[in-house]
Structure 1
Amino acid sequence: MRVPGRTGPGSDQCCRRHHAVGRQWSPCGDGQRPGVTYRWITTDVDLVAHVERLLQQQRYALDTEFHRERTYFPKLALLQIADAEQIVLIDPLACDLSPLKALFESDVLAVLHAAQQDLDVLTHACGAVPRRLYDTQLAAGFLGYSTPSLVSLLQAELKVPMAKGDRLTDWLRRPLSNEQCDYAASDVAHLLLLHDTIEAQLAAEGRSEWASAACEELRVKPVSGVDPGMAWSRLKDVRVLKAKARGVAQAVAEWRERRAMSLDSPVRQVLPDLAVLGIAQKQPRTIADLAQCRGVDDRHTRGTIGKELLTAVETGLAAEVTMPAAEGEELERHMRPAVALVSAWVGEVARKQRVDAALLATRTDLVSFLRGDETSRLAHGWRNEFLGDGIRRLVEGRSALTFDGRGGLRLVDVTPEPAA
């Protein structure tokens, strides 16, 4: 095996010894393999061939590197895949990624860690996400971990040390350095063994189905993003705006969001938050008035942009916009104290059962369930079996929480007081 002086697109050699992985990783789990290699894929032909190979496997590990600070949508910079025999680094700047759809739509299991952002990136870059997904971070939550990083989970479960990555590294530059390639490859090198280790423990605890259900929830979760019509509600200090100003803020923020999407540019580069609020307060009717709004500069008053902003102001002045209810306010007033009570019990159940509390129920889940929403995650499935009866008993006054004298809480039966 030749060890080139540099690795990545533009290099005349395609692979090097991956010293960052070394002896700790074995596709067979025996820990005896002296080292692994990674290979660059920079051509459509090679990618098609590799996808055909992966379609014969039972599973593969997947990770991505991306940037989004200069664009509206995440920009995929690198895609890493490991199977039982090798690691490949796929250059999305050089390859057409459409062949990956066949892999994602197959029955081959994709193993990722903290997959939410990866799924967002793949949706935009490939137009598809894996049909079968296993997230080691989510699954570890059913073993008592609380949103563990890959570094901490590898250390705890496999005793594999892994260097933390440089958050400021530029994954879009070419060629990538050997250090970047080593780090990228190490992100997937241990995932299959970690999958085996976690799944064996979950099976012993009878929790494999819970983890599978949680992974499927993540897989089908809508791609993260902003509803243009609700973009205004994320502005700082928007709650102090009066009714007409809220309408203008809503219309201008929606215009900004849609323009940022069309340009694939960060929203604040299209129009800063200060300008949105300034326009909402001043409600300009002319270009001269628009130029006087705080945060507005010459870019925003020239040509079609200025005209479009004035049109948005006019639209906003004709709209009636109310602030969305704060979390918990959509409950009837007499039910609001129940959120804190039930949250305390959920936290205690999570502690005793060694389950990440965020997997059991978020505050949004609790509010939805207490409101009687049939689509609430707590209304069905393993969460309902775990928590549903206890929540109902607390809310109905048939049970209460007491201290157990050992730093914990316990649920005890009580006799409900007769209705007045």
Structure 2
Amino acid sequence: MPVTTRRKLSAVVADASAADAYALDTEFHRERTYYPRLALVQIAWHDQLAVIDPLAVPVTPLAKLLDGEGLAVLHAAEQDLEVLYHECGTRPRRIFDTQIGAGFIGYSSPSLATLHERLLGVELAKEARLSDWFQRPVPDHMLAYAAADVERLLEISDILQKELHARGRLEWAEEECVLLLERADAGRSPDTAWLRIKEVRRMEGRQRALAQAVAKWREEYAARANQPVRHVLSDLGVAVVAQRMPKSLAQLREIRGVEPRNLRKGADKELLAFLDEIRDAELAVEPTSKPPKLDPALKPAISLITSWAAQHAAEADLDPALVATRSDIEALLRGDPNCRALKGWRADIIAAPVQQLLEGTAAVAFDGRGKLTLEERSGRPISADPSKGSA
């Protein structure tokens, strides 16, 4: 039976807070809202397990547990952290994400079911995964599914941490979990909403300043109305509204990317009033803080180095996506000082070898068996003219 009273919830919080570690998961929906709607919270500690019904009892008392010294163990924690912060006003102080941890021993973004199968030989039920978690009472098979997500999570965490320690990678995983918490703390600021819109990032001068303001308005309105941002105004709509600056409802509704059914309940009039406010206002153009442009001569190298990096990571039993994405490689070649490949454990794994490539002291080559290899450069380029031989 789920926890549905304040008294039972207080007992869960007190007991779990005394544990060194606890498993944590949530069930939520967010298809039609700006903020995720919490449907269940699952917690396991020692030999105890609780499924909490936030529709029956406020979950704000969980803040005491989250703020405590215990290690919160989650799987693919990013959205769980968001929904917990929205409901409780805080996030766990310390976390271990089993998906991240598994990435450091060769698993590529594994699902929780995969880790159960590979590490414990246990098959998780899957039929309730896309269920309506807001139906009440929650059917028994769905409660069992939710409970199973945390029932053995501490055991999985222990296995992963022991293996990471044996490989000398536990600190890497812990560092990555800290970064995940930092990203969660940063949240979605309305001031930086425009950075998530490709069409706006490409704009210049006053048009971009106007588009940045419209993007901020959209984010703030979506949060107030609890609607997905694209249900208010599409990304394209943000850019075109800033370009045309409509003065009437008729002009607004002519714009591609503006759906009248989305701009209802006064949103259309509120947007027009906002446009009138900024039409002649002095607006600062927020800089994109772009790093140096990529040398055109290096563009062909992006795909080759990305392929080598993925192979290099896999051979080292590391999740390639965790080590370096194509965007990371491009940022590295551009000389972006904020590139994550330059920081922490990635610096030795990726940044140092790529620096050798850029300096011309190493080269990527095929090993004759279909694999890429990084080798010391001989300095003897092969001539494009076969008659001339090697230089």
TM over 0.5, shorter chain: yes
Secondary structure of 1:64 counterpart: strand
Structure 1: where are the runs of 5+ without partners? 1-14, 16-39
Using the alignment, how far apart are the partners of 2:99 and 2:164 within structure 1?
A: 13
The Cα of 1:321 is off from its aligned counterpart by 6.6
1:131 corresponding residue in structure 2: 93
**Aligned equivalents of 1:63 and 1:408: distance in 2?**
40
Instruction: Identify the range of structure 1 (234-243 vs 333-342) with the bigger mean alpha-carbon deviation.
Output: 234-243
Post-superposition Cα deviations, 1:298-357, rounded to whole Å, max 9, x if no partner, equal 88588684154243266267668799699x984344444443343233222212111001
Counterpart of 2:175 (choices 213, 219, 244) is 213
Q: Which residue of 1 aligns with 2:38?
A: 76
Aligned position for 1:33: none
Superposition pairs for residues 270-309 of structure 1, below 5 Å?
A: 270-271=232-233, 276=238, 279-280=241-242, 282-290=244-252, 292-293=254-255, 295=258, 297=260, 300=263, 305-306=268-269, 308-309=271-272
After superposition, the Cα gap between the structure-2 partners of 1:401 and 1:56, relative to the gap in structure 1 and judged at 3 Å, is same
Counterpart of 2:232 in structure 1: which amino acid? V
Show the 5 A alignment for 1:251-330.
251-271=213-233, 276=238, 279-280=241-242, 282-290=244-252, 292-293=254-255, 295=258, 297=260, 300=263, 305-306=268-269, 308-312=271-275, 315=278, 330=293
Tell me: CA distance 1:86–1:240, structure 2 relative to 1, closer, same or farther (3 Å): closer
The aligned counterpart of 1:379 is: 342
Q: CA deviation at 1:108?
A: 1.1
Q: 2:370 aligns with which of 389, 393, 407?
A: 407
Give the residue type in structure 2 aligned to 1:131. Answer: R
Q: 217-226 vs 88-97, which deviates more?
A: 217-226
Q: Does 1:63 align with 2:63?
A: no
Instruction: State the superposition RMSD in angstroms.
Output: 3.4
Q: Check the 8 A contact 1:291/1:298 in 2, yes or no.
A: no
The answer to whether the aligner puts 1:147 opposite 2:94 as a matched pair is: no
Q: Is the CA contact 1:346–1:361 (under 8 Å) kept in the aligned structure 2?
A: yes
Kindly provide the amino acid, as one letter, of the partner of residue 67 in structure 1: H
SS at match of 1:222: helix
Q: Give the equivalent residue in structure 2 for 1:172.
A: 134
Aligned residue number for residue 48 of structure 1: 10
Is 1:393 equivalent to 2:356 in the alignment?
yes
Cα distance in 1 for partners of 2:219, 2:292 equals 27
How far does residue 188 in structure 1 lie from its aligned partner after superposition?
Answer: 0.7
The answer (yes or no) to whether the contact 2:25–2:41 under 8 Å persists in 1 is: yes
Check conservation: 2:75, 2:99, Cα contact below 8 A.
yes
Provide the residue aligned with 1:354 in structure 2: 317
Once residues 316 and 416 of structure 1 are traced to their aligned partners in structure 2, the CA distance between those partners, rounded to angstroms, is 60
Gaps of 5+ in 2: 381-391
Structure 1 residues 105 and 302, CA, compared in 2 at 3 Å: closer, same or farther?
Answer: closer
Question: Residue 277 and residue 343 in structure 1: after superposition, are their counterparts in 2 closer, same or farther (change >3 A)?
Answer: closer
Corresponding position: 1:116 with 2:78? yes
8 Å CA contact 1:247–1:316 kept in 2: the answer is: no
The 1:184–1:132 alpha-carbon spacing in structure 2 relative to 1, beyond 3 Å, is same
CA distance in 1 between partners of 2:172 and 2:320 (Å): 14
Deviations 1:152-187 (A, max 9, x none): 121111110112144442212221111110110011
Separation in 1, partners of 2:57, 2:320 = 41
Shift of the 374–249 alpha-carbon distance from structure 1 to 2, 3 Å rule, reads: closer
Per the TM alignment, residue 74 of structure 1 is displaced from its structure 2 partner at its CA by 0.9
| Structure 2 residue 298 is matched with structure 1 residue 331 | no
Does the alignment pair 1:102 with 2:64? yes
8 A Cα contact 2:303 2:326, kept in partner: no
In the other structure, the counterpart of 1:366 is 329
**Structure 1 residue 51, shift from structure 2 partner:** 1.4
Q: Which shows bigger deviation, 91-100 or 277-286?
A: 277-286
Match of 1:181 in 2: 143
In structure 2, C-alpha distance between the alignment counterparts of 1:333 and 1:180, rounded to whole Å: 54
1:156 aligns with 2:118: yes
Deviation at 1:120, TM superposition (A): 1.2
Does 2:312 match 1:345? no
Identical residues among aligned pairs (%): 43
Per-residue displacement from partner, 1:26-61 (whole Å, max 9, x unpaired)?
xxxxxxxxxxxxxx2212222222111112212111
Distance across 1 between alignment mates of 2:185 and 2:324? 21
The secondary structure found in structure 1 opposite 2:345 is: helix
Residue type at the aligned position of 1:285:
K
Give the drift of 1:147: 0.2
Report how far residue 241 of structure 1 moved. Answer: 8.2
Task: Describe the shift of the 1:304–1:72 C-alpha distance in structure 2 as closer, same or farther (beyond 3 A).
Answer: closer
Q: 1:307 to 1:126 in 2, by over 3 A?
A: closer
Mapped partners of 1:335, 1:192: distance in 2: 46
- Check if 1:201 corresponds to 2:163: yes
- In structure 2, C-alpha distance between the alignment counterparts of 1:41 and 1:304, rounded to whole Å: 39
3-state SS of paired residue (1:381): coil
For the Cα contact (< 8 Å) 2:292–2:335, is it kept in 1? Answer: no
Matched pairs, number: 379
Q: Distance in 2 between matches of 1:119 and 1:89?
A: 17
Q: In structure 2, how many angstroms separate the alpha carbons of the residues matched to 1:335 and 1:95?
A: 57
Closer/same/farther in 2, CA of residues 161 and 416 from structure 1, 3 Å limit:
same
Partner-residue secondary structure (3-state), 2:223: helix
Looking at structure 2, the residues matched to 303 and 263 of structure 1 have their Cα atoms a distance apart, in angstroms, of 11
